[in-house]
Structure 1
Amino acid sequence: MKFTTLLLLTAAVVFSGWPNRQAAAADANRLPNIVMIVTDDMGYGDLSSQGAKGFSTPNLDKLGEQGTRFTSFYVAQPVCTASRAAFLSGCYPNRVSLQGALNHTSKNGIHPDEFLLPEMLKEMGYATAGMGKWHLGTVMEFWPTRNGFDEWFGTPYSNDNTKYHPVLADEMPPFPLYEGENVIELDPDQSLFTKRITEKAVSFINRNKDRPFFLYVPHIMPHVPIFASDEFRGRTEHGLYGDVIEEVDWSVGEIMRTLDRLKLTDNTIVIFFSDNGPWPSYGEHAGDAGGLREGKLTTFEGGVRVPCIMRWPGHIPADRVCDEPVMAIDLLPTLTKIVGGRMPTKKIDGLDISDVLLTKDGKTPHEALFFYAGTELQAVRQGKWKLHFPHPYITVAGEPGKGGKPSNWGKNAAQSITQSGINGIASRHGGRVEHIELSLFDLSADPSETKNVAAEHPDVVERMKKLAEPIRKELGDSLTGVKGSGVREAGWVQ
């Protein structure tokens, strides 16, 4: 069992881990606190500092001024469960067999043998808490409190798996809100989610101010259906979506002000990013990709390049913009090194990016970054180049949606229940399936991925094809019929 294994490993930890582990453990109070705030479906262009219009994000802008804004920060897959599995495990989600998004019927989840970020920190003596959306398993075997969290407040899966689903509302059970391992409400008022999550986060900081803590805040917003509290509804020119983002920004400000009040700011690493890009089919209820192509569910830049800010005064350079390509899978190994923790014994894919994080001229340690959608290896980035292999993708069908309904909703709703695969996803969420040929883009000149320059750079194409061969063999690729040799099983219950 996982906890038996952890106890044995803890007893032997002096023989493993980073060189400074013993010194760090001996004086745990000097370990930095870590606050990780993750929004759901927020666009690259939804920060004022990155071009947002009709609403403002002053607290996030201030955070960026005090730290570093990463403009080529990627998630491993452009969908909720896969993205979260990746940054909490340090693995491409295909390695841990959690692609796509779990729902209320799912019997799988993160395998108990995976060593997650909160488990590493808990082993180091951190108080650990999460407030928001989990999405790595709906049954208790895969629950946050079985994966390193002392406290949990939130929901097991996305808030559209409820009576608010635009197509399948009648099939949805009541939406559960949990405190720890207990359901405390069914179908809670979603307009209060951001406020209640923030109150819980502030309470946790207050109660743990005298010891190192890890606070994980995976916000439920702005995933559709979107809601803002009375204090924020109707505040912005942008409509409800702008109201929602301003409330999320307020939440960030409340957490930052709490750190300031308790004089914890200088010893706290704050990390902010989105789990994937915006969902374009939902139109006015969706975010802005900031000029990047497409959005959620695609491996174009709009789906996988997300807003990201990190702050640690005196360590992470202030008022800096860093464009080095890094990925959320790098957070686990990087934080493990910073705190002197124990690395997972199983293979991971993330790399230590502390050089990028802590120095002004640090370079990414990745030779390349790889982008899967489900089990399809669709793209690879190296330096300024991004190569898309031929693959299907979802784009908006007709006019973007309005009022919380996806585009072309009426036409697609009737057929969506019986369809499966990418066509079913597209139909349920107002999209259509298109195909891209082998395409090379120069992201330094064309971040919107509009001009295919493969014919002009055949040498680059061939080099990047070869870069993809090892990862395809290890993690598989259903586009080419390759079964991965390094894939581990997810957890399953009958």
Structure 2
Amino acid sequence: MLGAILPPLYGQKGSRPNIVIVFTDDQGYQDVGVFGSSLIKTPNLDTMAGNGIKFTDFYSASPVCSPSRAALLTGAYPPRVGVPKVLWPNLEGGLSNQEMTIADMLKAKGYATACIGKWHLGDEAQYLPTQQGFDEYYGIPFSNDMSVNPSAKVSGDIVFREGMTLDSLREKKWRGGKVPLFRQDEIIEYPVDQKTLTQRYTKEALGFIKENKEKPFFLYVAQTMPHIPLYASEAFKGKSERGLYGDVIEELDWSVGQILETLDKLGLAENTLVVFASDNGPWDLKNGHGGSALPLRGHKFSTYEGGMRVPMIAQWKGTIPAGAVCSEVASTIDLFPTIAFLTGGDLPEEIIDGKNIWPLLAGKKKSSPHKRKGFYYFFEETAEAVRQGDWKLRRREGKIELYNLADDISEAHNVAASHPKLVKRMAKMLDDFEAELKADNKRYQ
């Protein structure tokens, strides 16, 4: 049975697959052509779905930034690894470098590793990507509406813009939207020119792929956009029917296209797993700068579907069946154990929550590995909801909601009153899982 779902080159010398993860910031479920967008054009992502698989029921592990990234990289729900909330500049805390990340695991297997883009898992030296398994880092250390850590290490040839100086960088003054650009563990530009970020991230990503084409690599491209404030380069500004937000998404689509084209040209596409997803749902904004989660209910910050169900597309030419669609429940926490399975990597000794979803990616008929124990929706330290099969129970501030997502994807009809036994059972699942997490004292204390 196992042999039937292994990729054809698995285990052969020199055949370990490259891994590329593209993670956008606050992109809505509907903001891709193949997920229903009519105004935003995403030809490269649409083609990627045609060459691979689209997941309709794929979840981030949090409706906000830092926890969702911690979960992706560790395969665990955010409270389990000590990152239940959004991290801020110049404050203590971050993802402990005692936690194993995907990069740690793959680096131990001889992979070249790079993080390009937004980190947001701690801006002090011990929390930066170069201390978390990444050989290379180029990007901003947190969200693009934040400021700068005045104690951060500064490069000797830093570029200052907008009248900033070393003295002004060192001031303990909040300058929202003026964020630093890092290379490795040093600031190289302050504030960064945000309208160039997507282009510069793409250039760095392509350079890394070309430099490491002869050996296995892991490339994590964590795009800054479409987190607000929105910026698009001159090449894309004013081009979309959806305004500036659409311009930003279309530039992100271009970036994905450049990565896929480079893999093709270098003959790497048939040995590279590429995954595209968003870190959580879109902002609920009335000025056109937020995305769309339709037909889902809710937005970023919410444990309704619109806050955590995200667009996900995966491609591995010749291995993942082309044009496939998966409607089983899966999550970013599942990528770590799946990548471990594909690369022969060693999982951490500590508990993780993700499951190997290669059978789903491979297009085999197999139910979600979360079907029995459920998938949990966390807001900060609290498990506010659980999904088991088609049923979802949500409990917040004393209000109990029950939805059948197969019949009611928009969570418009609370049927809790009609199913008291199911409510009781699923509420107990929430209680038991929170208790289990709190008993994981190695991480909680």
Do they fold alike, i.e. is TM over 0.5? Answer: yes
Q: CA deviation at 1:172?
A: 2.5
Residue type of the partner of 1:104? P
Matched, 1:439 2:443: no
Q: Out of 342, 348, 352, which is 1:344 matched to?
A: 348
Preserved contact between residue 108 and residue 490 of structure 1 (Cα < 8 Å): no
**CA displacement, residues 50-106 of structure 1 (integer Å, 9 cap, x when unaligned):** 111322100000000111100100011110000000010011001011012111122
The whole-number CA distance in structure 1 between the counterparts of 2:403 and 2:180 is 44
Matched, 1:289 2:251: no
1:97 corresponding residue in structure 2: 82
Matched, 1:151 2:136: yes
Q: Out of 171, 175, 180, which is 1:172 matched to?
A: 175
Matched, 1:471 2:433: yes
Q: Out of 376, 388, 391, which is 2:394 matched to?
A: 388
Q: CA deviation at 1:378?
A: 0.7
Matched, 1:448 2:402: no
Q: CA deviation at 1:390?
A: 2.9
2:53 corresponding residue in structure 1: 68
Q: CA deviation at 1:487?
A: 4.8
Matched, 1:485 2:439: yes
Residue type of the partner of 2:380? G
The whole-number CA distance in structure 2 between the counterparts of 1:25 and 1:183 is 40
Matched, 1:187 2:191: yes
With 462-471 and 213-222 compared, the bigger mean Cα shift is at 462-471
1:138 corresponding residue in structure 2: 123
Preserved contact between residue 107 and residue 133 of structure 2 (Cα < 8 Å): yes
Q: CA deviation at 1:26?
A: 8.1
Preserved contact between residue 37 and residue 273 of structure 1 (Cα < 8 Å): yes
The whole-number CA distance in structure 2 between the counterparts of 1:487 and 1:195 is 43
| Structure 2 CA distance for partners of 1:488 and 1:78, relative to 1, 3 Å | farther
Residue type of the partner of 1:464? M
Preserved contact between residue 382 and residue 434 of structure 2 (Cα < 8 Å): no
Q: CA deviation at 1:490?
A: 7.8
2:44 corresponding residue in structure 1: 59
Q: Out of 381, 384, 391, which is 1:378 matched to?
A: 384
**CA displacement, residues 151-199 of structure 1 (integer Å, 9 cap, x when unaligned):** 11001100001499xxxx9723752110111111001110000000000
The whole-number CA distance in structure 2 between the counterparts of 1:233 and 1:272 is 23
Residue type of the partner of 1:82? P
Matched, 1:124 2:109: yes
Preserved contact between residue 269 and residue 311 of structure 1 (Cα < 8 Å): yes
Where structure 2 has 5 or more consecutive residues not aligned to the other structure, the ranges are 1-5, 149-161, 163-171
Residue type of the partner of 1:264? L
The whole-number CA distance in structure 2 between the counterparts of 1:140 and 1:485 is 30
Preserved contact between residue 80 and residue 444 of structure 2 (Cα < 8 Å): no
The whole-number CA distance in structure 2 between the counterparts of 1:244 and 1:143 is 27
| Structure 2 CA distance for partners of 1:24 and 1:321, relative to 1, 3 Å | closer
Residue 281 of structure 1 aligns to a residue whose secondary structure is coil
* Aligned residues with identical type, % of pairs: 45
Structure 1 runs (4+) greater than 3 angstroms displaced: 23-26, 487-491
Residue type of the partner of 2:439? S
The whole-number CA distance in structure 1 between the counterparts of 2:356 and 2:277 is 18
Where structure 1 has 5 or more consecutive residues not aligned to the other structure, the ranges are 1-19, 392-435, 476-483
1:7 corresponding residue in structure 2: none
**CA displacement, residues 249-272 of structure 1 (integer Å, 9 cap, x when unaligned):** 000000000001101101100000
Preserved contact between residue 133 and residue 158 of structure 1 (Cα < 8 Å): yes
The whole-number CA distance in structure 2 between the counterparts of 1:172 and 1:327 is 35
The whole-number CA distance in structure 1 between the counterparts of 2:10 and 2:404 is 43
Q: CA deviation at 1:351?
A: 1.1
Aligned residue runs from structure 1 range 183-222, under 5 A: 183-222=187-226
The whole-number CA distance in structure 1 between the counterparts of 2:39 and 2:358 is 35
| Structure 2 CA distance for partners of 1:214 and 1:145, relative to 1, 3 Å | same
Q: CA deviation at 1:111?
A: 1.0
Residue 324 of structure 1 aligns to a residue whose secondary structure is coil
With 35-44 and 359-368 compared, the bigger mean Cα shift is at 359-368
| Structure 2 CA distance for partners of 1:170 and 1:226, relative to 1, 3 Å | farther
Residue 131 of structure 1 aligns to a residue whose secondary structure is strand
Residue 389 of structure 1 aligns to a residue whose secondary structure is strand
Residue type of the partner of 2:268? L
The whole-number CA distance in structure 2 between the counterparts of 1:224 and 1:359 is 36
Q: Out of 246, 251, 255, which is 1:247 matched to?
A: 251
Residue type of the partner of 2:175? M
Residue type of the partner of 2:174? E
2:232 corresponding residue in structure 1: 228
Matched, 1:276 2:280: yes
Residue type of the partner of 2:116? M
Q: CA deviation at 1:33?
A: 0.6
Preserved contact between residue 89 and residue 147 of structure 2 (Cα < 8 Å): no
The whole-number CA distance in structure 1 between the counterparts of 2:420 and 2:320 is 39
Preserved contact between residue 111 and residue 490 of structure 1 (Cα < 8 Å): no
**CA displacement, residues 26-61 of structure 1 (integer Å, 9 cap, x when unaligned):** 83x210011100000000000111111322100000
1:414 corresponding residue in structure 2: none
2:158 corresponding residue in structure 1: none
Preserved contact between residue 145 and residue 179 of structure 2 (Cα < 8 Å): no
**CA displacement, residues 312-367 of structure 1 (integer Å, 9 cap, x when unaligned):** 12222210111100111011011101111111011111111111121331211112
| Structure 2 CA distance for partners of 1:231 and 1:210, relative to 1, 3 Å | same
Residue 294 of structure 1 aligns to a residue whose secondary structure is coil
Preserved contact between residue 29 and residue 309 of structure 2 (Cα < 8 Å): yes
Residue type of the partner of 1:377? A
Preserved contact between residue 391 and residue 405 of structure 2 (Cα < 8 Å): yes
Residue 377 of structure 1 aligns to a residue whose secondary structure is strand
1:357 corresponding residue in structure 2: 361
